[in-house]
Amino acid sequence: MSETTGCTADWHLEHSAPARFLRYLDPCRPFARQINMLAGRFRDVQALCSAGTHPPELTRLRNALAFHLVKMSRWWRFDFCPRGVTGVRNPLFLTYVKAHAERVVEDEALFDLFTMQRHMHAGDGGHILVLGRDGATTPALSILYGVDGQRNFRFATGSHGVEPLWNGQAYPDFASAWLAAQAVHALIRDDSTGLHEYETANREHLWARAWHQQHFHRSGQLPLIRLYAQAHTQLQNCQSAFGKAEMKTVVDRLAFEITRAAYHRHMTVADMIEESDMLAINLRSANMIKQRARAYVATCMDPVTRPELDILLDRVVSYIPRRCP
């Protein structure tokens, strides 16, 4: 399958601005969908920039996409190597990021916080850069989000006209801070059901966060089928709506990776299962993996790549019944 979508520079200038598909303050939007689109659009625009003469707007778009790849890696706390993900050498990639930061004050401040900290009280957990306000709260109670000098995410609660009070707990990624903030909001509203839901979701997010961290890893100690079985067990143990949705995306991604591996190895999904010696070989398990792979393509892959990926899935056979001798 091709590495780029074949879209033109004009198309990307109209459709690939990060603000069109990234929603930083809404963790309910699937992590995988946002990062897959961001990485794919960057690779596409980078290829156009490297191909020859192009408008300066395309260079600025490439630089913005590069910056947001770095920002997303901090926001969701996943391992990110520019060369491994984009094919661009790390020093060159960093020049793109810095070029964007020099043009956008807010992004420069955030980039500085995660690097040199020239504008922060370096290492000070009490010095906080405000990121934004939760739009779902009421005028009587607002929630602010920020990043402190120790590069951890924080939240603050307050009412209109009153100085916000920053919670003393720090979080390694934004989703953890968001879930904790929603739990506090539920507590203030005396919503015991909501409080239990968000506290449960925060615990379950710990499982998903470990998978998010390895999103771009292409190899590991465990075979894909074993990883799928492990994630599937965690999904079955989830009780909150947020945790179920997050882990379902993880399981669907692994199902897609299994199906893609079967395609490249000219195997059926059932053969992949049999090779792993992990799951029972039956029509249901093989077909379920392929169904999950289709769900992942439909919900978490860039829409411009879906037709090609659907063809890939069509060519992978889930199961071939054993013939009696």
Residue 173 clears pLDDT 90, i.e. is over it: yes
What is the predicted pLDDT for the residue at 221?
59
Confidence of residue 220 (pLDDT cuts 50, 70, 90): low
Of the ranges 83-97, 131-145, 186-200, 236-250, which one carries the lowest mean pLDDT score? 131-145
Per residue in 268-286, pLDDT tens? 898 888 887 765 556 678 8
- What distance in Å separates the CA atoms of residue 281 and residue 274, rounded to the nearest whole number? 6
Per cent of the chain over pLDDT 90 is 74
| Average per-residue pLDDT for the chain | 90
- Burial level of 183, CB count in 10 A (0-12/13-18/19+)? buried
Higher pLDDT, 317 or 248: 248
Give the contacts of 179 (CB within 8 A, at least 6 positions apart). Answer: 27, 198, 201, 202, 205, 242
What is the predicted pLDDT for the residue at 77?
95
Q: List, in sequence order, every residue forming a beta bridge with 133; answer none if it has no partner.
A: 144
- Burial level of 53, CB count in 10 A (0-12/13-18/19+)? exposed
What is the predicted pLDDT for the residue at 253?
97
What is the predicted pLDDT for the residue at 1?
41
Please, what is the end-to-end C-alpha distance for the chain in angstroms? 38
Residue type, 290: K
Residue 239 clears pLDDT 80, i.e. is over it: yes
Half-sphere exposure of 124 (CA within 13 A, CB side): 10
Residue 139 clears pLDDT 90, i.e. is over it: no
What is the predicted pLDDT for the residue at 22?
97
Residue 246 clears pLDDT 60, i.e. is over it: yes
Higher pLDDT, 53 or 245: 245
What is the predicted pLDDT for the residue at 2?
45
Global pTM reads 0.92
Residue 306 clears pLDDT 50, i.e. is over it: yes
Per residue in 121-135, pLDDT tens? 777 878 899 999 886
Per residue in 21-68, pLDDT tens? 999 999 999 999 999 999 999 999 999 999 988 899 999 999 999 999
* 183 token code pair: 């739990």
